[in-house]
Structure 1
């Protein structure tokens, strides 16, 4: 739980370069995520090219963490690996991988930010073009990663009024 409560969306990083070994560890965490029917459609692209960052900044108004990031990881799906084509399970599979990656970065003492790509058509088109994604490779999200410029407080977002028992509206007496 400690890692979960420590994970925060970090939008500004120091200039310390994240190593390839650190990035590999984060990606390994992504690949440890569950996936529907164990299809593991995910594909990861490590990005360090500032020109790609600039292009994405042009279509994503909240991607400014890329201004200071020394690395980013694009999470995509290879739709040819879907076990139930057209059902969209890849979205959940890649989202689970992304969350694992965010948590691993936190556990490593790094900061990270999930920037949504899917389902925004302009973002999808931009990423497909600048990263050279072939047909059938669909981007879900881009994660910036780096050493945070400040410490963040733990956060607990538990909301009692959002938990029910058996049916909606029935208070859960714990």
Structure 2
């Protein structure tokens, strides 16, 4: 549980490099996620080219973390691998993979950020072109990685008033 509470969104990084071994561990964590009927339709594009990062800043207003990030892992789905084509389960599958990757990065003391691509069509089209993704590969988001420029305290976001048992009781 500690890793879950320690995971925080990092938007500014130091210039330290992340090892290939740590990147592989983060990728393995992503691939350990559950997926619909074990389809494992996720594919990952590991990027370290700062020029590529800068280009994405042109279309994403919240991508400033890319200015200092060391590594970005684009999480996509190969729609040809879907076990239930057209149902959209890939979104949940890739989201689970991204969350696992963020948690593994935290466990490795690597700062991370979930940067969304889907469902903004302009971002999808841009990243597909930038990373030469074929039509059947759909991007969900980016896991932005680096050494955090500052430490953040763990956070507990538990909200008792948003928990219901058996039925949703709503406001009285």
Category of TM-score, reference length = shorter chain: over 0.9
Alignment length, in residue pairs?
171
3-state SS in 2 of match to 1:166: coil
Residue aligning to 1:111: 111
The separation in 2 between residues aligned to 1:148 and 1:50, in whole angstroms, is: 17
1:70 CA drift (Å): 1.0
Normalised by the size of structure 1, how large is the TM-score?
Answer: 0.96
Residue aligning to 2:141: 141
The separation in 1 between residues aligned to 2:10 and 2:18, in whole angstroms, is: 15
Question: Stretches of 4+ moved more than 2 A in 1?
Answer: none
Residue aligning to 1:155: 155
1:128 aligns with 2:128: yes
The separation in 2 between residues aligned to 1:77 and 1:60, in whole angstroms, is: 20
In structure 2, stretches of 5+ residues that fail to align are none
1:170 CA drift (Å): 7.1
Normalised by the size of structure 2, how large is the TM-score?
Answer: 0.97
The separation in 1 between residues aligned to 2:135 and 2:11, in whole angstroms, is: 31
The separation in 1 between residues aligned to 2:19 and 2:129, in whole angstroms, is: 26
Contact 1:55 / 1:126 at 8 angstroms: preserved in 2?
Answer: no
In structure 1, stretches of 5+ residues that fail to align are none
Is the deviation greater in 161-170 or in 87-96?
Answer: 161-170
